[in-house]
């Protein structure tokens, strides 16, 4: 049994990733109950704040993906309420959630990240789409990868292999956000490295290799069982796996993250890891990468979540 009185798991929200968040919340709630913890699961609606004020939890586990769950907004409200929570504080979330900003931070500490251009929709239209897109192809080359500057689950993201595909990719991207991040596409092995801090500093869990059936790790490939093959640990040479782990821990530290994060990487043919983005509220579903990494490390997921919640509660008491 746990010495935590009761904990709150936040899941749902109103982002495009609501359904994934609900699945993550269910999984976390299940493993915590199995670990002997009194768990309440709630959505982020108008009843949330009165509920917390009436019966403050010992700690909150945030499984909200995208939007308010990862941009620091909900965590700011939790801080106003004086409720401890697992994960990065609002300021660090805001930096990590914006992919171009996160790329700039990790580049400043020596990590490799694909060359890119960031374009708000207004700039794209005002300056003339055809001319701007032509310069992007000329400057970055092909293939490219287009994705919203904020958000996750590969929504609005696509690979562009010819110049003719770029306009449609931009339109698809802008359907999910007002700013597009256009990166030079790096061919290689896709790897996710989860980082946890269980009280002795951030440590990387075994890297997970991602091999989607259709070659693209899109929304369906992420959340539909059987659409992607995973290898945990990744099929990497020991020195390359170590470089991936070091990259993820360096990104976690440079971005000021706390407790848990997941860094997405591409390892090119030479074995060089490239930072793509970081997630401050990693998915916890049956097909999510952090639970796979924890299992590969021999770490019980319920025990890991319990330790993180206990740490959060301890921070508040101290």
User: Which residues are tagged catalytic?
Assistant: 17, 153, 288
**Using only C-alpha atoms, what is the Rg of the chain?**
19
Q: ω into residue 139 within 30 of 0, thus cis?
A: no
The answer to whether the CB of 312 falls within 8 A of the CB of 84 is: yes
Flag whether 264 is marked binding. yes
> 37: which 2 tokens?
């913890």
Residues 265, 195: Cα–Cα separation, whole Å: 13
Closest C-alpha to 270, from 189, 208, 212: 189
Q: Which residues line the annotated binding site for Mg(2+)? A: 264, 277, 279
């Amino acid at each position: 049994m746990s010495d935590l009185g009761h904990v709150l798991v936040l899941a749902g929200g109103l982002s495009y990733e609501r359904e994934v968040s609900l699945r993550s919340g269910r999984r976390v709630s299940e493993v915590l109950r199995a670990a002997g913890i009194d768990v309440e699961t709630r959505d982020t609606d108008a009843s949330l704040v009165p509920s917390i004020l009436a019966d403050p939890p010992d700690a909150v586990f945030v499984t909200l993906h995208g939007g308010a769950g990862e941009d620091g907004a909900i965590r700011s409200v939790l801080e106003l309420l004086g409720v401890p929570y697992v994960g990065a504080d609002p300021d660090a979330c805001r930096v990590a959630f914006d992919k171009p900003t996160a790329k700039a931070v990790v580049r400043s500490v020596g990590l490799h990240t694909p060359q890119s251009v960031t374009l708000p929709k207004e700039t794209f239209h005002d300056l003339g789409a055809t001319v701007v897109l032509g310069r992007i192809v000329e400057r970055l080359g092909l293939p490219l990868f287009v994705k919203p500057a904020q958000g996750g689950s590969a929504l609005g993201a696509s690979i562009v292999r010819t110049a003719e595909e770029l306009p449609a990719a931009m339109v698809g991207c802008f359907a999910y956000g007002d700013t597009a991040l256009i990166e030079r596409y790096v061919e290689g092995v896709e790897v996710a490295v989860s980082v946890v801090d269980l009280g002795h500093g951030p440590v990387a869990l075994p890297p997970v290799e991602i091999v989607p059936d259709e070659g693209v790790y899109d929304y369906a490939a992420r959340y539909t069982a059987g659409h992607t093959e995973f290898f945990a640990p990744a099929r990497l040479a020991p020195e390359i796996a170590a470089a991936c782990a070091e990259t993820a821990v360096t990104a976690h530290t440079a971005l000021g993250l706390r407790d848990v994060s997941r860094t997405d990487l591409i390892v090119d043919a030479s074995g060089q890891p490239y930072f793509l983005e970081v997630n401050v509220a990693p998915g916890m579903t049956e097909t999510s990468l952090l639970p796979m990494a924890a299992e590969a490390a021999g770490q019980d997921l319920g025990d890991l979540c319990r330790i993180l919640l206990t740490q959060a509660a301890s921070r508040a008491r101290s």
